[in-house]
A and B are shown apart, each in its own frame.
Chain A
Amino acid sequence: MRYICLVHFDVAATFAGMSETQRVQLDTDSLAYDEELAASGNLVVAEALQPPEEAVLVRVRDGRMSTTDGPFVETKEQLAGFILIEARDLNDAIRIAAGIPLAKHGTIEVRAMYEIPRHDQQPD
């Protein structure tokens, strides 16, 4: 089954408390874990994200598209990246999530994929 591990953490506070060496180590560890997951066949895709300040929020209402700047909500922990994995079950996914280096600093949200049902009959 596929699960997504959404990595939330307080970027500013975490990095403020770290030395340059520690920051480099975190990057190295994160990349190494991605490679490890690729080697164990668990990795589908892993990406880190630019900070939410650089996000653009898109909406379409009444046929009209509008955009606004992020961030959308003011929370300290932000979505900083994600790892899409293949795991045997939810506990296997939790085990993999616990190994993500940033789990030591932030929170990993594990979500199972939802398959949108295909409805044969189209509504009139």
Chain B
Amino acid sequence: MTSSPTEIERIWREESRRVLATLIRLLGDFDRAEEALNDAFLAAAEHWPRQGIPANPRAWLVSAGRFKAIDKMRRRAKLAAITAELSLPDEEAEMAPEAELIADDQLRLIFVCCHPELPPDAQVALTLRETCGLTTEEIAAAFLTKPATIAQRIVRAKNRIRELDLRYEVPEAAELLPRLDAVLRTIYLIFSEGYSASHGASAIRADLCSEAIRLVRLLRELLRQEEPEVEGLLALMLLQHARQAARTDNEGNIVLIADQDRSRWNGTEIAEGVGLVERMMSRSPLTAYVIEAAIAAAHATAPSGEATDWDEIVHLYDLLRRADPSPVVALNRAVAVAMRDGPEAGLFEIEHLLESGVLASFRYAHAARADLLRRLGRTEEARSAYVAALALTQQAAERRFIEGRLRELSAFLH
């Protein structure tokens, strides 16, 4: 096979993260591995055009990277001092790494990036850079932050990994589920950040959704057993992502689910998500992501807003409350109750929640209350609830939506 620069670029895209994951294990250090990865590709650019692409480019790159790293370490320090510290690879280890080992290296990388000892924002940045291959600048653009902020987050996280000597390994069976939970939470954080980006926002933000879906698919492929939470999260993200195109109009204004043009929903994603939900809902016990996905599926398969099966959705929220007894889940259930039994019933539940104080600074609680008051014709109260929601809202599209509602109410009053 001949190798052109584009061919090497393709191999970079396909293999660089896997090669990096293995080099981190072999060299025991992120930065050393990154340097070795660069050197390996540099060597490839030099050798491959003359010698052709090797049969197993990944193994070639791992081997070249490790060789270069050891060579550098030897030159940088005195040989005698370094050989003691560094476990030099034996000849056998030079052989092409097994496919299974490579898969484990990628899993190790995901688990260490999402280690519970690291702060959540650091987990997100590290995962996007090391596992997905985004640059620091791209991550900063996606999170509307300065590159220097993200860069330091990553530096601190790597220092912490070193200081705590976090083990670069796939957790054992007993530890797997809680650790997997942290990984899924990070992936869902990445997804939500992209999902909340309004129409017209930088494409890189919307790309976060695709990255998150790609990550959970990778995780699913790497884990050798089926985990309902992984299936559930994939289904949930697919079903939400399916509605992305219809969530805003051409001006970037929010379109509520009841008013969305359902023909613009992505049928392929809905079919895959619903298939996963159907398979997982027969398992016991039901886990949170599976139930959330089932709720999303109930919306996705309804022919219209009015024809939505609200009874089923309230029932699913009851199940979800058992798996995840958070006030936000209770709020969502109250909204579903309002749809099933009328605004009065939902309002009763929301006011009860707001009185308990936990949701007082949650903008959606005030917005939901405002909407129900509006539907009940209690205009003055609706107005002040919208004002409370607006005071808590930063996002431009959400602000426009609330301001629009306030204008409608003023017109109604005058």
Interface of A toward B, CB cutoff 8 Å: 1, 32, 36, 40-42, 88-92, 94-95, 98, 112
* In the complex, residue of chain A having the shortest beta-carbon distance to the beta carbon of B16: A88
A92 to B34, CA, bound (A): 8
> Inside 8 A of B129's CB, which chain A residues have their CB?
89, 91
Q: Is B42 a contact partner of A91 (Cβ separation < 8 A)?
A: no
> Inside 8 A of A90's CB, which chain B residues have their CB?
135-137, 147-148, 150-151
A96 to chain B, nearest CB (A): 8
- A88 contacts which of B135, B147, B150 (Cβ < 8 Å)? B135
Interface residues on B, range: 10 to 19
* In the complex, residue of chain A having the shortest beta-carbon distance to the beta carbon of B152: A94
The reply to whether the CB of B72 lies closer than 8 angstroms to some CB of chain A is yes
> Inside 8 A of A42's CB, which chain B residues have their CB?
38
* In the complex, residue of chain A having the shortest beta-carbon distance to the beta carbon of B139: A89
6 closest A-B pairs by beta carbon, nearest first, are A89-B135, A90-B136, A89-B136, A90-B151, A91-B136, A95-B31
Select the residue from A32, A40, A42, A98 with max chain B CB neighbours within 10 A.
A40
A101 to B129, CA, bound (A): 27
Q: Is B151 a contact partner of A95 (Cβ separation < 8 A)?
A: no
* In the complex, residue of chain A having the shortest beta-carbon distance to the beta carbon of B126: A91
Q: Is B137 a contact partner of A95 (Cβ separation < 8 A)?
A: no
* In the complex, residue of chain A having the shortest beta-carbon distance to the beta carbon of B39: A40
> Inside 8 A of A94's CB, which chain B residues have their CB?
151, 155
**What are 9 A-B interface contacts by the 8 Å CB criterion?**
A41-B38, A42-B38, A88-B38, A88-B135, A90-B137, A90-B147, A90-B148, A98-B31, A112-B147
> Inside 8 A of B151's CB, which chain A residues have their CB?
90-91, 94
The reply to whether the CB of B35 lies closer than 8 angstroms to some CB of chain A is yes
Q: Is B35 a contact partner of A89 (Cβ separation < 8 A)?
A: no
> Inside 8 A of A98's CB, which chain B residues have their CB?
31
* In the complex, residue of chain B having the shortest beta-carbon distance to the beta carbon of A41: B42
> Inside 8 A of B138's CB, which chain A residues have their CB?
89
A92 to B39, CA, bound (A): 13
The reply to whether the CB of B154 lies closer than 8 angstroms to some CB of chain A is yes
A112 to B135, CA, bound (A): 13
A51 to B20, CA, bound (A): 41
A89-B136, A92-B38 given. 19 additional CB < 8 A pairs?
A: A1-B137, A40-B35, A40-B38, A41-B38, A41-B42, A42-B38, A88-B38, A89-B129, A89-B138, A90-B137, A90-B147, A90-B148, A90-B150, A90-B151, A91-B136, A91-B155, A94-B151, A94-B155, A95-B34
> Inside 8 A of A112's CB, which chain B residues have their CB?
137, 147
Q: Is A91 a contact partner of B35 (Cβ separation < 8 A)?
A: no
Q: Is A91 a contact partner of B154 (Cβ separation < 8 A)?
A: yes
B42 to chain A, nearest CB (A): 5
B43 to chain A, nearest CB (A): 10
Known A40-B42, A41-B38, A112-B147; contact A89-B137, beta-carbon cutoff 8 A: yes
> Inside 8 A of A1's CB, which chain B residues have their CB?
135, 137
